[in-house]
Structure 1
Amino acid sequence: MDKRIAWNKGRLVGQKVPLKLQEIWSIRTRLEIANNIRELAMFNLGIDSKLRACDLVALKVADIMRSGDILARTCIVQHKTGTPVQFEITPLTRKTVKAWIDNKSLNYFDFLFPSRIKKGKHITTRSYFRIVLKWIKSIGLDPSLYGTHSIRRTKVSILYKRDKNLRAIQLLLGHKKIESTVRYLGIEVQDALEASEKLDI
């Protein structure tokens, strides 16, 4: 009888670690120095939008641009839940995304991040995952601890540490239940560790 090996044998699974502010800027700086317009736009938009990989890669130019200008806010329908979610696009991200669109001469109904292999298609979530791991490795972090959800979790993790406003984060992530937001952020564990760190005995 064949013994099947578990898919996750020897792998670290579970919640992926969000990036810290210094790490965000380290990745940005490296992409800017390399003049990697595409990945800089992808990275900045991934951080701002807080979208799942499947939603980020499927964005079209029309989702974020009107009359030649990148929108400060937009709304898309999530693939996983079928519910709409709004997100902001900060000035820095608007600048880098516009530079990418202009550089690639993308039209309104083009995918924002088109596939380099299949014409008329967007990049795959697997391709995006590989790009994210490349960013992580570029600043010396352990790639086994990170993934595409690291990008999705980054901004909301920073917001939670600052404001502790779970309802706001629930809306930003497009979660239907507040319990999903608590689990997603790992808040109970995070708060317990912070409380423990403050107790000097």
Structure 2
Amino acid sequence: MHPWINAFLEAQSAELNAAQNTLEAYSRDLSDFLTWMADQSCDIDSCDRDDIENYLIDIDTRGLSKATRARRLSAIKQLYRFAFEEGLRADHPALKIRGPGRSKRLPHVMTEEDVSRLIEISEDFGRNPTEKLRNACLIELLYATGMRVTELVSLPLTAARGNPKMLLVTGKGDKERMVPLSPPARIKLASWLTHADTLNDLARKNGKPQARFLFPSRNRQSHITRQAFFILIKSMARSAGINPNEVTPHKLRHAFATHLLANGADLRAIQVLLGHANLSTTEIYTHVLDARLQELVLQHHPLENDD
């Protein structure tokens, strides 16, 4: 890795408290840019605007999506801004380059019926009682709170103490927020916590490490991974008779927000619950709802029927 990129990533981590996933994305994007520049016998220390635009043309011809190309350009711009501010370069060669924009695709939203089926199947999904209790709690909490998957799987065991009506969640940039729990979520959380405490007691008696996380990994030293939960929820969807391509942890987060909005919740309240920094990010759910209402009208309005 180029020294500039290493320094940039360190600054993102130390000064802006960037999440590990964000740092890994920057690293991947900038590594590709660095490799391409090396293939062109060009160095990022001295390349100019034309070189960067040629790289953007190249990744377009590779078939990369608008979102990916926009993200790559953003990473490059931030790298050169860092280099300029640190005095590593006297100019910012990417400053005036315009990105491709993002495709305005609305997220697919699971119906309330699909969510209900997923919750129902989760209660008996697993190879043993421990997995069944854990899986039921995971799905119920995710839909009840709209947490990001990383926020959910990394919850500490202490977060569930005292039969809480709200959970303290640590989100992006270590920002904390409170999310309320529905009665069904509280019941499943209490059941799982009782079982988790029993497992910890057994581990202590056997001289084994006790879990610190609410949803521990197999070795009980860490928590289950985002990838493991992603695979798990896909398997649940198949068992529930739902297209697994339409079910991800993030789509349950979309469902949480859209269903709240459809049932009269305030957009500002949804923004707080989701942990969005800007209301404009939350406003996509109004468009999702508008699209869904339009679809319902086209399907069910009597003037739209040929009969």
Distance 1:41 1:161, change over 3 A: same
Matched, 1:111 2:111: no
Q: Which runs of 5+ in 2 are unaligned?
A: 1-58, 66-104, 201-209
The residue matched to 1:81 in structure 2 has which SS?
A: helix
Q: Which amino acid aligns with 2:163?
A: I
* One-letter identity of the residue aligned with 2:264: D
Instruction: Kindly indicate whether the alpha-carbon contact (under 8 Å) linking 1:16 and 1:146 is maintained by their aligned counterparts in 2.
Output: no
For the 8 Å contact 1:72–1:89, the answer to whether it is kept is: yes
Provide the aligned C-alpha RMSD in A: 2.8
CA, structure 1 residues 133+172, in 2 after alignment: closer, same or farther (shift >3 Å)?
same
What is the count of residue pairs matched by the alignment?
Answer: 188
Are the equivalent residues in 2 in contact too, given 1:132–1:147 (CA < 8 A)? yes
Identity of aligned residues (%): 23
- Distance between the aligned counterparts of 2:238 and 2:135, measured in 1? 15
Identify the residue that residue 153 of structure 1 maps to in structure 2.
254
In 2, the alpha carbon distance for the partners of 1:64 and 1:172 equals: 18
Aligned equivalents of 2:246, 2:158: Cα separation in 1: 34
**Partner residue in 2 for 1:20:** 111
Q: Which runs of 4+ in 1 moved over 6 A?
A: none
Contact 2:154 / 2:213 at 8 angstroms: preserved in 1?
yes
- Pair 1:188-2:279 in alignment: no
Give the 5 Å matches for 1:3-152: 17-34=108-125, 36-65=132-161, 69-78=162-171, 80-105=172-197, 110-116=212-218, 118-152=219-253
Equivalent position amino acid for 1:100 in 2: W
Query: Per-residue displacement from partner, 1:119-170 (whole Å, max 9, x unpaired)?
Result: 3100000001111111221222222222110122222211111116211111
Counterparts of 2:217 and 2:63 in 1: how far apart (Å)? 32
Is the 2:213–2:222 Cα contact (8 Å) retained in structure 1? yes
Q: 1:39 to 1:165 in 2, by over 3 A?
A: same
Give the TM-score, by structure 1 length: 0.79
Contact 1:62 1:109 in 2 (8 A): no
DSSP 3-state at the match of 1:195: helix
More helix by share: 2
In structure 2, C-alpha distance between the alignment counterparts of 1:17 and 1:146, rounded to whole Å: 9
Q: Given that residues 142 and 152 in structure 2 are in contact (C-alpha distance below 8 angstroms), is that contact kept between their aligned partners in structure 1?
A: yes
Task: Give the aligned residue type for 2:179.
Answer: F
Structure 1: which amino acid aligns with 2:157?
V
> 2:160·2:193 contact (CA, 8 Å) conserved in 1?
no
Q: Which amino acid aligns with 2:232?
A: I
- Please say if residues 146 and 274 of structure 2, whose CA atoms lie closer than 8 Å, have aligned partners that are also in contact: yes
Q: Which runs of 5+ in 1 are unaligned?
A: 9-13
CA distance in 2, matches of 1:24, 1:197: 19
TM-score (norm 2): 0.54
Partner secondary structure for residue 70 of structure 1? coil
Asked whether the 8 Å contact 2:258–2:288 carries over to 1, the reply is no
* 2:263 alignment counterpart: 162
